[in-house]
C-alpha cells in the first residue's frame, strides 16, 4: 500500500470514529448513560449530606444531655437553689433524673453513631448511681453489644460487672472481668480491670484467685497507680505470711 493511501485510510478511520462519537452523543443510549451517572452522583451527594446532617443532630442531642450532666449540684448551705438545664440542681439524683430522658432519647435515635453509644453509656452509669441496677445493667449490655471492641464497650463490661457484684452475682461479674482482662488489645487500663477482678474473687470467697490477681497488678503492670491498693489487699488476705 502506498504511503498516500495509508494516510487517507487513517484519516477515514479517524473521521469515522469522530462521527460515531457524535452519533452516540446525540443518541438515546448516550443520554440515558449520562442520566444514570447524574443520578448516581445525586444520590451519593444526598447520602453524604444526610449523613453529615445526622451527625450534627446527634452531636446537638448529646450536648443537651451533657449540659445537664455537667451542671453543678448545690451545697447543703445554699438556700433555695435554682434548677434548670444550665443551673444548679438541689441534689445529684435530681440532676441525673433530669438528664436521663435526654440521654435515652439520644441513644435510641442514634444507636449506630458514636454519640448514641456515648449517651447510652452515660445513661447506664446514671441509672447505676440512682440505684436502678436492673435498668443500668440492661443499658450497659446494649453498649457492649453495639461497641464490643471499643472504649465504651470495654467500660460497660466493667459497669455491668459492678451491677452483678451489687446483686451478688459473682460468677457473671467474674466472667465479664476475665473477658476484659484477657482481651489481646485491652481498651481499658489493665490494672483497673485486674483490681476489679481481684475484688470480685475476694467477695465470692475465692481468696487464692484474688491473691494471684492482685499480684498481677504489681508484677504485670508497670508503675500502676493501684500498686499500693493491691499490696494492701494482699496483706488483708494474708498473702505475705
Q: Does the global pTM surpass 0.75?
A: no
Q: Give pLDDT tens digits for 135-160.
A: 999 999 999 999 988 899 999 999 99
Integer Cα distance of 229 and 131 in angstroms: 26
Backbone torsions φ then ψ of 31, nearest 5 degrees: -65, -35
**Residue 183: pLDDT band by 50, 70, 90 thresholds?**
confident
Instruction: Identify the pLDDT of residue 4.
Output: 52
4 CB-side CA count, 13 A? 0
pLDDT of residue 140: 94
Kindly report the CATH class assigned to 16-73+86-188.
mainly alpha
Q: Where are the domains of the chain?
A: 16-73+86-188, 199-241
Closest-CA residue to 130 (of 87, 202, 69): 69
> Which are the contacts of 137, defined by CB distance < 8 A and separation ≥ 6?
124, 160, 163, 164
pLDDT tens digit sequence for 97-150: 999 999 999 999 999 899 899 999 999 999 999 999 999 999 999 999 999 888
Q: To the nearest whole number, what is the mean pLDDT of the chain? A: 81
The mean per-residue pLDDT over the stretch 224-241 comes to 85
Amino acid at each position: 500500500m502506498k504511503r498516500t493511501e495509508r494516510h487517507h485510510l487513517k484519516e477515514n478511520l479517524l473521521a469515522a470514529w469522530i462521527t460515531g462519537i457524535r452519533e452516540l452523543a446525540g443518541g438515546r443510549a448516550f443520554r440515558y448513560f449520562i442520566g444514570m451517572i447524574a443520578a448516581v452522583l445525586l444520590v451519593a451527594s444526598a447520602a453524604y449530606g444526610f449523613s453529615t446532617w445526622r451527625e450534627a443532630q446527634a452531636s446537638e442531642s448529646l450536648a443537651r444531655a451533657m449540659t445537664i450532666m455537667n451542671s453543678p449540684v448545690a451545697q447543703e448551705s445554699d438556700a433555695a437553689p435554682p434548677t434548670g438545664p444550665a443551673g444548679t440542681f438541689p441534689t445529684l439524683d435530681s440532676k441525673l433524673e433530669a438528664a436521663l430522658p435526654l440521654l435515652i432519647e439520644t441513644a435510641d435515635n442514634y444507636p449506630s453513631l458514636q454519640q448514641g453509644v456515648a449517651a447510652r453509656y452515660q445513661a447506664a452509669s446514671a441509672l447505676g448511681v440512682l440505684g436502678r441496677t436492673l435498668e443500668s445493667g440492661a443499658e450497659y449490655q446494649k453498649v457492649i453489644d453495639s461497641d464490643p471492641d471499643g472504649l465504651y464497650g470495654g467500660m460497660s463490661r466493667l459497669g455491668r460487672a459492678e451491677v452483678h457484684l451489687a446483686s451478688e452475682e459473682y460468677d457473671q461479674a467474674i466472667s465479664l472481668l476475665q473477658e476484659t482482662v484477657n482481651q489481646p488489645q485491652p481498651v481499658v487500663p489493665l490494672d483497673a480491670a485486674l483490681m476489679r477482678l481481684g475484688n470480685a474473687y475476694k467477695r465470692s470467697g475465692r481468696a487464692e484467685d484474688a491473691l494471684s490477681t492482685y499480684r498481677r497488678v504489681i508484677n504485670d503492670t508497670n508503675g500502676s497507680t493501684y500498686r499500693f491498693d493491691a499490696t494492701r489487699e494482699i496483706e488483708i488476705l494474708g498473702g505475705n505470711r
